[in-house]
Structure 1
Amino acid sequence: MPVTMSQAFIGNFLGNSPKWYKLAILSFLIINPILFFYVSPFVAGWVLVLEFIFTLAMALKCYPLQPGGLLAIEAVAIGMTSASQVLHEIEANLEVLLLLVFMVAGIYFMKQLLLFGFTKIITKIRSKISVSLMFCLASAFLSAFLDALTVIAVIITVAVGFYSIYHKVASGKDFNDPTTIDDDNDEPLNEAELDSFRGFLRNLLMHAGVGTALGGVCTMVGEPQNLIIAAQANWQFAEFALRMSPVSVPVLLAGILTCYLVEKFHIFGYGAQLPDAVHKILCDYAAYEDARRTNKDNMKLIVQAFVGIWLIAGLALHLASVGLIGLSVIILTTAFNGVTDEHALGKAFEEALPFTALLAVFFAVVGVIIDQHLFGPVIQWALSYQGNTQLVIFYIANGLLSMVSDNVFVGTVYINEVKAALLNGQISRDQFDLLAVAINTGTNLPSVATPNGQAAFLFLLTSALAPLIRLSYGRMVWMALPYTIVLSVVGVLAIETGFLEQVTQYFYDTQMIIHHSVKDALPLSSAH
């Protein structure tokens, strides 16, 4: 039966997305101009924001770039915002875009070293609790300096590799057999053994995913919104880490304790053990790989280790902007590891560019929020409170919205509104600094509740590994629940008790002492 033009249009529109989703997006595109011209620009703006959040929440149905991009293009076309305003937002956040483009691509060329490290953790440490803690801590440390997506991508690669090796050997094949995994044909495998192995991998991946949030909140490069917040507050790497520490340090300790407890008491789907037979297969494979590794391969690992040291030192000492340090990582790792082919370089950018484009769409929606003053009433209500209550309100508001939306979008919107309040004289600079901490921690911590809030979780859920280890959306939410409760509560307590304000005041006093000491030590002409 021939396909009509209307059927062809619907079939092509947004590809394999469900028909109801396609019709919803088309309905949005029709209703927005009507609301804007005939009802109220303010109402139309809020409807657009909710529609955009809907596309983020439905990311498993369709990547948000296309439907969100259509909404953004229409917003500019009908006058909700202007192309110049969008360009201004992009220019103001250029460093964030460079972070995503260059840093993610740079870490792509360090995957060999990261794979080597995580492989050793699994094969050399037999205690499940110890392995879980090390995966969580290693992910936290790496995410403090690297992009969380890259960290979780490396761990997914490790898990896929181990699953593939076990599947091959258990099916009677060799390590180097080119056959791909046929997950629908598991008859030759021990079902109980396979289920235990799947549970073991699920546990490690969830611990690692939470670890990226624990580490990502600590530094300005841990998550994209951190860099946006740092830029608005004019904080450098060390100052950002110090200002976040009253919340990030207690939360990190609480997260590690939670990791230990859920494994110890086998709750929320944790506590799955690695079967002895599987452990032997993985150890044999690791030995097989070590035997095949040449001096050339070893030198690549050494180079990547030195580049990693440069990366950490460059960020900590703020020797250059984050994006430029990422570019230097690309140059150093490729130059000294023999990667000179243009196509090999191009693969490194595949992971980052879709999200970079989506971030540009975020800024278009931010332009609508600014031009239509959408968050004005909400911000004014929150600012009507004083002291720690105000901080708690911002923390909770950011946390709840980040659970269903993308935390980059949420963090960008709120920090822009608070910066406007500072420039208008509604809040002091000290209170702005405290609010910036509340916004950053609010977007990073409660967002572990769902894959929608954490890009690393969403990346894991949409990976080819998720169906292999039976990791569904519901199971991920359930396994994240203890972390969600603990991290959110500890975070809000650290803010509400005044601990944040006390440490911030101590930090400010220390800065002043150092400043005056240096000034007094200088000659009079230099001091001026």
Structure 2
Amino acid sequence: MNTVTPANQSTFGAVIDALRTNFLGDAPSWYKRIIILFLIANPFIYMCSPVISGWCLVAEFILTLAMALKCYPLLPGGLLAIEAVAIGMTSAHEVKAEIYHNLEVILLLMFMVAGIHFIRELLVSIFTKILLRVRSKILLSVIFCVLASFLSAFLDALTVLAVIITVCTGFYGIYHRAVAGAKTQMSDNSGISAEDRVDLDNFRSFLRSLLMHSAVGTALGGIFTIVGEPQNLIIGDTAGWHFTEFALRVSPISVPVFIAGILTCILVEKFKIIGFGQPLPEKVYKILEQNYLKNLNGLTMRTKVSLVCQALVALWLIVGLAFHLAAVGIIGLTVIILATTATGVNSESEIGKAFTESLPFTSLLCVFLTVVAVIDHLGLFDPIIKWVLSVDKAAQLPLFYVANGILSAVSDNVFVASVYISQINNALQSCHLDREQFDMLAIAINSGTNLPSVATPNGQAAFLFLLTSAIAPLVRLSYGRMFLMAIPYTIVLSVVGFVCTWFVLPAMTDIFIDLGWLSEVQQVCTK
């Protein structure tokens, strides 16, 4: 007869404790228990009602996105997706088909983000010169917002924001070391005089506002082009639009929204609304300027040539995208090859670092697509789509905009766009929707997922990236502060986007078609 000794009990308990600790890392214990509960309950719910289990999976996945700050959604969301395939909510073949359908987006994330990594020196240099040469805080804020917007229209928003974060972190470190000593950690204020502490707090406020303007700028520019945001490429690829056509179709919304965003930037700075308006302290400016001049004098000819080569590669990137010379991801791959060749990078380890920012989100996108496959397989959105399509055509646009906007603000805009564009594409293929209205709804989805999603860090990947970056705790940028600072932009962008989607988009699209700028595609259905 076997007996359990205290030693065995102790070992068994230690194993259980280790498993409990390792599961989802340092995520909250209550969150771990909820995920386990989901994994246990889902098979039983599926046996009772596949439709209810599908909606439960969608809600559970949205929860993992909302908890992204505590645990990266790839882990809990991936567990839920694996279980969904295992119990028959979808099949591996359907998941593969969804991934294949969105291959261009995956290539964009894999290669374009990595490609921009190799021209970051040029971008850092540009932002540094602007910050030191423009003394007006309002003008500086507008420039950062506009520049982030322009770059995000052609590059990846995460990469653009990563460059600005790098610049701000470097400036923060320079000043902190100057006043506190080289051995003091940047998050430690010990050894700083009362006067310097006031300057440091003001400097933090200055950097916070620039970071928020830049983050909003990536959203303003992201809506303009097919490569501005990952969901844009999903929508554009499904609709069959190339770079120029996508830009023209969204312009009735993107242009007014951009103007409204810049006006908001000016007003919040001028009237110092919700933490904006703090200028750069004079003492901080002098320290930063001295350091910049010192580094500028130390530039070697090799570095200067490297910057020129990076500028030429950036020019090729813009030309290649504008004329649709190849798939977006392929253009990104050429950027990697050209930039590394011209800047002296030739080792696998150095090249590998460029992919660390993009591959986690690429993996998460595949999990998104698994949930989309579940939605398609179970027909979860069919009743909703049929109801929306049954209302008057003019009312469909604002309904889609609002629905996408609300969901994008609390979950993730790429996931929401993937779900809705696949649903209206199914309606188009089954002849429940004509091509003209499909184009309108696709733009409404694009606008709804890009604009109201600035309300919370959950909705925009760039916002979440900023919140989880190393600069956030240094400048005291918390979730709550980011939410409050985004309120003026959220209200203005959402309202302007809503009005333009409902009234301006149909009128301007007709004008573009009459001018011959857009081709009117007629769909003929035989039933």
> For the superposition of Structure 1 and Structure 2, which TM-score range results when normalised by the shorter chain?
over 0.9
Q: Is the 8 A contact 2:180 2:189 kept in 1?
A: no
Deviation string for 1:106-160 (max 9, x for gaps)? 0000100000000011100100001100000000000000010000000000010
**RMSD over aligned Cα atoms:** 1.3
Partner of 1:484: 490
Residue 36 (1) aligns with residue 40 (2) = no
Matched residue type, 2:39:
L
Partner of 1:375: 381
Residue 310 (1) aligns with residue 316 (2) = yes
195-204 or 185-194: bigger deviation: 185-194
Residue 438 (1) aligns with residue 448 (2) = no
Q: Is the 8 A contact 2:245 2:518 kept in 1?
A: no
Partner of 2:333: 327
Residue 196 (1) aligns with residue 216 (2) = no
CA distance in 2, matches of 1:209, 1:513: 32
Q: Is the 8 A contact 1:411 1:439 kept in 2?
A: yes
CA distance in 2, matches of 1:332, 1:386: 51
Partner of 1:27: 37
Residue 467 (1) aligns with residue 477 (2) = no
CA distance in 2, matches of 1:155, 1:181: 21
Cα displacement (A) at 1:509: 2.3
Residue 137 (1) aligns with residue 146 (2) = yes
Partner of 1:504: 509
Residue 224 (1) aligns with residue 230 (2) = yes
Q: Is the 8 A contact 1:388 1:495 kept in 2?
A: no
CA distance in 1, matches of 2:77, 2:420: 20
- The alignment partner of 1:493 has SS state of helix
Matched residue type, 2:59:
L
Matched residue type, 2:424:
V
Partner of 1:522: none
Question: Which structure 2 residues correspond to residues 285-434 of structure 1 after superposition, within 5 A?
Answer: 285-434=291-440
- The alignment partner of 2:516 has SS state of helix
Partner of 1:109: 118
Q: Is the 8 A contact 2:177 2:186 kept in 1?
A: no
Q: Given the superposition, is the C-alpha separation of residues 514 and 482 from structure 1 closer, same or farther in structure 2, using an over 3 Å criterion?
A: closer
- The alignment partner of 2:30 has SS state of helix
- The alignment partner of 1:4 has SS state of helix
Matched residue type, 2:226:
M
TM-score, L = length of structure 1 = 0.95
Q: Given the superposition, is the C-alpha separation of residues 74 and 307 from structure 1 closer, same or farther in structure 2, using an over 3 Å criterion?
A: same
Q: Given the superposition, is the C-alpha separation of residues 60 and 250 from structure 1 closer, same or farther in structure 2, using an over 3 Å criterion?
A: same
Corresponding residue pairs, total: 508
Matched residue type, 2:97:
H
Partner of 1:63: 72
Matched residue type, 2:179:
A
126-135 or 382-391: bigger deviation: 382-391
Q: Given the superposition, is the C-alpha separation of residues 220 and 487 from structure 1 closer, same or farther in structure 2, using an over 3 Å criterion?
A: same
- The alignment partner of 2:407 has SS state of helix
1:452 pairs, out of 452, 455, 458, with 458
Deviation string for 1:432-465 (max 9, x for gaps)? 0000100001000000000000000000000111
CA distance in 2, matches of 1:129, 1:514: 42
Partner of 2:185: 181
2:157 pairs, out of 113, 129, 148, with 148
Partner of 1:272: 278
Partner of 1:126: 135
Cα displacement (A) at 1:184: 2.6
Matched residue type, 2:509:
T
Cα displacement (A) at 1:6: 2.2
CA distance in 1, matches of 2:426, 2:327: 25
Structure 2's unaligned 5+ residue stretches are: 1-9, 521-527
CA distance in 2, matches of 1:55, 1:130: 39
CA distance in 2, matches of 1:462, 1:100: 19
Matched residue type, 1:24:
I
CA distance in 2, matches of 1:373, 1:508: 34
Identity of matched residues, %: 59
